[in-house]
Amino acid sequence: MKRLLSFSLLGLFLLFGCEPTEETPEQAQLAGGVWTLQEANVQASGSAVIPGTQNAVPVSLTGTGEDYQMTVDFGETPQSVQAEGGFVLFVEISAAGLPLGNERFPIRGDENFAGTWEIKDGQLLMEDQDDTIVMDILEFSDNRLRVATIPDVSDFEEFDMEGVTVGEASAEFLLVR
């Protein structure tokens, strides 16, 4: 009987006395597989000169991606990044809530993203010959990557919107695989 009691106590101790070990989930991997752009959104603010005057009014720009045909391949060794295809950014301009105009701008991936990548301190860093693009990682799993960045306002100079000057902007992208 003492022996049965000892085994019972030992069993209870082993069952309840040890802290459960938590399995750490595997870290999602960026490399290995092609990512497809699913969403692209841009918000910007600036000013527009009223035609025929020197007066400027504050404007907001909202860009929404469409016609997505862009893929991004993150290599493992070396950590290369290459985008192919593109999408169209539909930009609407408004002042005081009133629409001033809109325009569609084709964005080619192979002209904008080719270089190396690194994940550091919750950010995706992509570097090419000209500069480094820093994107905050908002969501990252095996099949979803959502990033946000603050584009250089000089990037908006290529958009031919007469009289509009962009002061600040933010962009968010969702890639899936």
At residue 110, the pLDDT reads: 66
pLDDT, averaged in runs of 10, over the chain (177 residues): 36 42 62 92 88 85 95 89 92 87 84 83 90 93 95 71 82 96
Residue in this structure with the two tokens 């019972």, named with its chain if needed: 8
Residue in this structure with the two tokens 């930009």, named with its chain if needed: 91
CA–CA separation, 40 vs 107, rounded Å?
Answer: 11
At residue 164, the pLDDT reads: 80
3 φ, ψ (degrees, to nearest 5): -65, -40
Q: Is the pTM of this model over 0.85?
A: no
At residue 131, the pLDDT reads: 82
Q: Which alpha helices (H) appear in the chain, and where do they start and end?
A: 2-16, 109-112
CA–CA separation, 156 vs 162, rounded Å?
Answer: 12
Residue 127: alpha-carbon gap to chain centroid: 15
At residue 174, the pLDDT reads: 98
**Cβ within 8 Å of residue 27, ≥6 positions away:** none
Beta bridge partners of 148: 136, 172
At residue 27, the pLDDT reads: 67
